[in-house]
Copies of this chain bind each other. A is one copy, B any other.
Amino acid sequence: MADYTATVTVRLKSGVLDPEAETTQQALERLGFELADLRSTDRFEIDLDAESADAAADRADEMAERLLANPTIHDYEVAVTER
């Protein structure tokens, strides 16, 4: 068993409205910043013990499927690093 950190990045599927990101973009523009687009994503950094990096990735994948992401509106990515 080794210590891994799995990073799960959850983002809205393209086409799904993101009012929070729009508000943030407008607030930045009101402050005088010029930007073409702004997207917001949630990231979960999960420390876990696993047999291998693949096993850690599988587990994080299952966490995303079951709780962290909503498959109707979200895409997610999993990346694993050893601690």
Using CB atoms and an 8 Å cutoff, list the residues of chain A in contact with chain B: 3, 9, 21, 24, 27-28, 31, 33-49, 59, 62-63, 66-68
Contacts and interface: CB of A to CB of B under 8 A. Distances in A.
A9 B38 CA distance: 13
Contact of A33 (B9, B43, B45, B59): B59
Most buried by B among A9, A36, A49: A36
Contacts of A49: 34, 36
A40 B55 CA distance: 21
Contacts of A37: 46-47
Given A28-B63, A33-B62, 10 more contacts: A24-B68, A27-B67, A31-B66, A33-B59, A35-B47, A38-B47, A39-B44, A40-B44, A41-B45, A43-B43
